[in-house]
Amino acid sequence: FQIVEFGPRPSNAVLNGQSSTRLFAIYNGAQVNFEGLVFKSGSTGESKGGCIYVYGSNVTFTSSSFESCTSNAYGGGIFAQDAIVNMKSTTLTSCSATHVGGGIWIDGTTKLKLESSTFSSCYAGYYGGGIGAAAFNGTGERGVDLVSTSMTNCSAAYGGDMFVDGDTTVTC
């Protein structure tokens, strides 16, 4: 496996996809740590993960932010499947997905832990304006752990702040 670390950078370095590209795709057992970065305007013509796509990997975000990230279907800010995603002191603002998980969409056996993080004005067309979590793919442990995390002005047709389906466990 591989461990990659990004940051910290002075004054939060901005990674800007200019609404035309996904910023990172992380696969197959990688361990990646991001600290003090701004992920901005990531967008994908594909259906998953406007700024970040994670599959089968372990990713940590610390003191970072996601701004105006968009997806044509799942996970405007982040899409994660069969992964571990940890976020501490991280914000997601104005991220959107046309279908589910405006801020974050998790699927399969993903474990998502949010600590002292904030979702603001995230939107999904159908499910989970802030967070969408489901067990459509894979079997095994999956869950969302929320510690001192807030969601404001997030919206969706179902579950403005959060939508949970399947065998997903949520702990607050």
Q: In this structure, are residues 103 and 133 in contact, taking their beta carbons and an 8 Å threshold? A: no
pTM: 0.92
Q: What is the rounded CA–CA span in Å between residue 158 and residue 155?
A: 8
Reading the block at residue 53, the tokens are 């796509």
Per-residue pLDDT of the chain (172 residues; tens, 9 = 90+): 344 556 555 556 889 999 999 999 999 999 999 999 999 999 987 789 999 999 999 999 999 999 999 999 999 999 999 999 999 999 999 999 999 999 999 998 999 999 999 999 999 999 999 999 987 666 667 899 999 999 999 999 999 999 998 778 889 8
Q: Find the length of the chain.
A: 172
What are the residues facing 120 on neighbouring strands? 93, 152
Q: How far apart are CA 10 and CA 112, in angstroms?
A: 27
- CB neighbours of residue 141 within 10 Å: 10
Q: Residues with Cβ < 8 Å from 100, sequence gap 6 or more?
A: 73, 74, 75, 124, 125, 126, 127, 128, 132, 134, 156, 163
